[in-house]
Amino acid sequence: MAIVVQKYGGSSVATPEKIKNVAKWVIKKKLEGNDVVVVISAMGDTTDELIDLAKKITEHPDKRELDALLATGEMVSSALLAMAIKSLGYDAISMNAFQIELLTDGTYGKSLIEDINERAILDRLKEGKIVVVAGFQGITEDGDITTLGRGGSDTTAVAIAAKLKGECQIFTDVDGIYSVDPRIYREAKKIDEISYEEMLELSSLGAQVMHSRSVELAQKFNIPIYVALSCSDIKGTYIREVEIVEQKPITGIAVSDSDVAITLQNIEYDTNLLSDIFEAVASKKINVDMISQTAPIHNKVNLSFTIPKDDLRDCLDVIKPYYKKDEIIIDEDITKFSVVGLGMKTTSGVASRIFKLFKQNDIEVKMITTSEIRITCAIKQQDKMKAVGLVAKEFNL
Amino acid sequence: MAIVVQKYGGSSVATPEKIKNVAKWVIKKKLEGNDVVVVISAMGDTTDELIDLAKKITEHPDKRELDALLATGEMVSSALLAMAIKSLGYDAISMNAFQIELLTDGTYGKSLIEDINERAILDRLKEGKIVVVAGFQGITEDGDITTLGRGGSDTTAVAIAAKLKGECQIFTDVDGIYSVDPRIYREAKKIDEISYEEMLELSSLGAQVMHSRSVELAQKFNIPIYVALSCSDIKGTYIREVEIVEQKPITGIAVSDSDVAITLQNIEYDTNLLSDIFEAVASKKINVDMISQTAPIHNKVNLSFTIPKDDLRDCLDVIKPYYKKDEIIIDEDITKFSVVGLGMKTTSGVASRIFKLFKQNDIEVKMITTSEIRITCAIKQQDKMKAVGLVAKEFNL
């Protein structure tokens, strides 16, 4: 029998009614002749509520104890789902991190998975049971509970699928991956399949459907991920190795308004100085994204980079030693506009088509960075919708 | 260093504020130079809330999954208490049933404890940590979660104290054991110490402070239990082996209004018939308490017994074959009045003193049963307060 690992997110199991509904869909998959493992998140906002509870005890909860606390959320939902399945007449069993021996590297709050005792799961599947695994949690060699951090349950599901050589299905509150966020561009098309690399670029650019870590893990073990809407038959999106043959040049567009651009004008052209500046910024754990630097004129350069808006004050503090007051320009009117596509590897001229389109339509490009499969431009926020529409039409997204 | 095992009940940790307060008292015990293990119940009504949640999934939740669900309540409170202690600058660690390897016989919902890995606890104590154990939960050999049933956290505490040869302190919302429930007899005196046997009799008669199982366990391993009010210095009560020398004849009084007496008149005097009747009643899991039977006259006897009021209808159904309609008397005006005291073993005449007192004060005694350390009378409910007052004064309780 084929093994299918299904993951249901917190919004899919937010209430007892929703859990009962998930039970029906899980059973349906079982009745199609599969061995089914379900990985489940905590109900609705449980994790946030537990964090709030911890904060009422102390502003800075001990990390070990916070993980022990948060792990209970998935223990609750997994026990409830197993109950629901059994009440419908099918055999099921909930399993927590101790029971499947999901070993981690022991970093509280953002552990990496080191191993899973697949026998524990396989034995229960062989008994005909649907195995309901509490996601997001692991244990250390010493038996301490650790959690896997943001997107943790996705990672649990992918890791189990990799161990059991099964299919991985991620059920969530969107019905697949779109070429553009449908809230921004209503005619956006759903993508049938997308490569791991493209998905990783889109995730890191703010497409929230899948967390990068689980996609990286799936890529490492070559596990296809199917992303679809919970409890529905609507066709979703496969994330998997994609043949580049006849690939469209662009698969998706991502936009983000949450950055600000800082430009230091006429600073000394000195690589030590540049590395000092970025080290200072990094010391505050501020995530620098786009960086551009003009060619030196009379040994002076202009240096621009973008950071999250929330970090602006911190950033200005740490770079104060490196500029004079009239040399700095802060531009908050920034939208990061990115196109991603494996096809760019083989299709030349994508960048020039986009820039031509922008020029013809008076869209100013403030900064540009590129990778092998991505082009990102900083544009004015007022141009965002226009840019999305133009590029989506041009590349038939 | 002496090892002290403290247990705090659900009402003592019902809110984050209360948990922080418990943390202070735990630390105080540590600073007095003890190694401290804390056993903790779920916060407030958490267990009931989790049961309600399960009932929303299905009327009859699977027992394994219900136990897995309920065990999360104590995992939450133990993590929060460990956080609270650490935030006050003292080292602490929460431990669940997997982590202390509290093995049970595997009966879901009412497991018996088989073993505890005391090394897991002792090693953490040696590191200077306060160990906060999630009460009420255990695991089977196969790693399934089971719970210990009503009074389960008390049992966890006594079992750990027995394993570690430590002192056991049960903190609750009453400040000790009283000779009479102070809500019934305001001048009731607190008992400094009470024997296991007496406490067991009082518990089974409705004194709710300690559950019988934990007292039995303490008796078996000769572990003294100190029962006192949470987070206070008010002197509580020791439950322990008591020397009978100069023992008062009576230690305590318990009363209960929750029974009804059934009398079958003029039934055939036939031991087979009697055993048939009580077997029929037992088959419905109805708890028969007092039984009395008159001497046979012309081979006919009157048989009286008491059962919980709630079971009356069920009971009448099953004993229907054994009586004719005009032969049954149902008396709902029953108070069970019990006196308990180890001293009765050596002091004669306790019963006659009580009966004389009742006779002088027009208190009708409807039924009587006795054990070696207990006398129970069924009296009219209107006589309850009078009887308590008279006996309490007579025996200086």
**Model confidence over A21-64: pLDDT tens digits?**
999 999 999 999 999 999 999 999 999 999 999 999 999 999 99
Say whether both B278 and B169 belong to one domain: no
**Domain check: are B168 and B311 in the same one?**
no
Same domain, B262 and B157: no
User: Given CB atoms, is A60 within the 8 Å cutoff of chain B?
Assistant: yes
Strand B167-172 versus strand B2-8 pairing type: parallel
C-alpha to C-alpha distance for A242 and B273, rounded to whole angstroms: 83
Chain A residues lying within 8 Å of B16, measured CB to CB = 53, 56-57
CA atoms of B232 and B141, how far apart (whole Å): 39
3-state DSSP assignment of residue B286: coil
Helix H or strand E encompassing B104: strand B103-104
Q: How many residues are listed for chain B in this entry?
A: 397
Each residue's pLDDT tens digit, A174-207: 899 998 888 888 888 999 999 999 998 887 766 6
* Secondary structure letter of residue B279 according to DSSP: H
The overall average pLDDT reported for chain B is 92
Asked if the Cβ–Cβ distance from A75 to B76 is below 8 Å, we say: no
Selected residue with higher pLDDT from A76 and B303: A76
Determine the residue of chain B that is closest to A97 in CA distance. Answer: B98
Query: By the 8 A CB rule, do A230 and A296 touch?
Result: no
pLDDT digits (tens, 9 = 90+) for A267-315: 888 888 888 899 999 888 888 988 888 888 888 889 999 999 989 999 9
Distance CA B367, CA B329 (A): 14
Residue carrying structure tokens 């027992």: B63
Rg for chain A, CA atoms, rounded: 24
Q: What pLDDT does A34 receive?
A: 97
- CB–CB contact B76 A72 (8 Å): yes
Q: Which residue of A has its CA nearest to B49?
A: A76
B86 neighbourhood in chain A, CB within 8 Å: 58, 62, 65
Q: How many CA atoms does the CB half-sphere of B165 hold within 13 Å?
A: 3
User: Cα–chain-centroid distance for residue B392?
Assistant: 22
Distance CA B266, CA A126 (A): 63
Query: Does B33 fall in a domain?
Result: yes
Note the ipTM here. Answer: 0.84
More confident residue, B99 or B243: B99
Which structure tokens are listed for B263?
A: 């009398």
B108 known member of a binding site: no
Note whether A72 contacts B69, CB cutoff 8 Å: no
A86/B66 touch (CB, cutoff 8 Å), yes or no: no
Whether residue A214 is predicted with pLDDT greater than 80 in this model: the reply is yes
Q: Which two tokens stand for residue B386?
A: 């009078």
Residue of B16, B69, B84 lying closest to A79 (CB–CB): B69
Helix (H), strand (E) at residue B393: helix B384-394
B138 and B13 belong to one structural domain:
yes
CB-based contact A65 B75, cutoff 8 Å = no
| CATH number of the domain residue A308 falls in | 3.30.70.260
In terms of DSSP bridges, do strands A2-8 and B2-8 run parallel, antiparallel, or are they unpaired? unpaired
Q: Is B77 on the interface with A (CB under 8 A)?
A: no
Q: How far is CA B368 from the centre of its chain?
A: 23
Instruction: Say if B311 falls within a structural domain.
Output: yes
Coil, helix or strand at residue B143:
coil
At A75, which CATH number? 3.40.1160.10
pLDDT tens sequence across A223-250: 999 999 999 999 999 999 987 666 678 9
The total of structural domains in chain A comes to: 2
- For residues A88 and B88, the answer to whether their CB atoms sit within 8 Å is no
pLDDT on residue B116: 97
Q: For residues A195 and A241, is the Cβ–Cβ distance under 8 A?
A: yes
Question: In which order are the strands placed within the sheet that holds A2-8?
Answer: A92-95, A130-134, A34-40, A2-8, A167-172, A225-229, A237-239, A193-194
CA Rg value for chain B: 24
Q: What does the block give as tokens for A291?
A: 């960086």
**Band of the pLDDT at B217, cuts 50, 70, 90?**
very high
Q: Which residue of B has its CA nearest to A50?
A: B76
The verdict on residue B26 lying in a domain is: yes
Q: How many CB pairs under 8 A join A and B?
A: 109
Which residue in this structure is represented by tokens 């004050």? A313
List Cβ neighbours of A348 (8 Å cut-off, separation of 6 or more): none
Residue B362 lies in a domain: no
Task: Tell me how far CA of residue A34 lies from CA of A29, A85, A87, A234, in angstroms.
Answer: 6, 15, 20, 20
Confidence of residue A324 (pLDDT cuts 50, 70, 90): confident
3-class secondary structure per residue, A17-43: HHHHHHHHHHHHHHHCCEEEEEEECCC
Chain A nearest C-alpha distance from B44 (Å):
14
Chain B nearest-CA distance from A142, in A, is 9
DSSP state of A211: -
**What share of chain B has pLDDT > 90, as a percent?**
70
For residue A109, the chain B residues in CB contact (below 8 A) are: none
Phi-psi region of B92 (alpha: psi -120 to 50; beta: other; left: phi over 0): beta
Sequence-distant (6+) residues with CB within 8 A of B191 are B176, B177, B178, B179, B237, B251, B252
3-state class (DSSP) for residue A381: helix
Contact (CB<8Å) A57/B84: yes
Domain stop point among A285, A306, A331? A331
Q: Is B108 left (phi over 0), alpha (psi -120 to 50) or beta?
A: beta
**Structural domain for A152, as ranges:** 2-173
| B173 has binding-site annotation | yes
| A158 and A272 assigned to the same domain | no
Q: What is the b/e burial string over B255-281, where b = at least 16 CB atoms within 10 angstroms of the residue's CB? A: bbeebbbbbbbbbebeeeebeebeebb
DSSP line for B37-94? EEEE--STTHHHHHHHHHHHH-SS--HHHHHHHHHHHHHHHHHHHHHHHHHTT--EEE
Structural domain includes residue A363: no
Binding residue per annotation — A226? no
Distance from CA of A210 to the nearest CA of B (A): 28
Short-list B157, B149, B150, CA closest to B132: B157
Residue with tokens 């007192």: B357
> Any chain B CB within 8 A of the CB of A56?
yes
Q: Please give the full DSSP string across B201-226, using - where no structure is assigned.
A: HHHHTT--SS-HHHHHHHHHHT--EE
Residues of B in contact with A38 (CB under 8 A): none
Residue A173 is assigned to a ligand binding site: yes
Q: What are phi and psi of A12, to 5 degrees?
A: -75, -15
Specify if B387 maps to a domain: no
Same domain, B27 and B156: yes
What contacts A56, CB < 8 A, 6 or more positions away? B16
Answer whether A82 sits within 8 Å of B65, measured CB to CB: yes
CA–CA dist B339, B352 (Å, integer): 13
User: Same domain for B136 and B269?
Assistant: no
H/E element holding B260? strand B259-268
Q: What tens digit of pLDDT does each residue of A71-120 get?
A: 999 999 999 999 999 999 999 999 999 999 999 999 999 899 999 999 99
Are residues B168 and B266 located together in one domain of the fold?
A: no
Question: Do residues B189 and B235 lie in contact, with contact meaning Cβ atoms separated by under 8 Å?
Answer: no
A117 touches chain B (CB under 8 A): no
A169 lies in the same domain as A263: no
Choosing from B278, B310, B331, the residue where a domain stops is B331
**Helix, strand or coil, per DSSP, at residue A216:** helix
Residues of chain B positioned with their CB less than 8 A from the CB of A66: 79, 83
What is the pTM assigned to this prediction? 0.85
Is the Cβ pair B93, A64 closer than 8 Å?
Answer: yes
Is B385 near chain A, with CB under 8 Å?
A: no
Beta carbons of A255 and A388 less than 8 angstroms apart: yes
Q: Are B373 and B200 in contact (CB under 8 A)?
A: no
For residue range B31-46, list pLDDT tens digits in order: 999 999 999 999 999 9
By three-state DSSP, how is residue A306 classified? strand
- Helix, strand, or coil here: A51? helix
Judging by DSSP bridges, how do beta strands B300-308 and B193-194 pair with one another? unpaired
Per the CB < 8 Å rule, is B72 touching A72? yes
Residues B14 and B154 in one domain: yes
B159 has a pLDDT exceeding 70: yes
Of B173, B196, B220, the domain-final residue:
B173
Please indicate, yes or no, whether residues B160 and B270 belong to a single structural domain of this protein: no
Contact A69 B62 (CB under 8 A): no
Q: Is residue A72 part of a domain?
A: yes
Residues A169 and A262 in one domain: no
Residue type for position B259: D
Could you tell me if residue A300 is inside a domain? yes
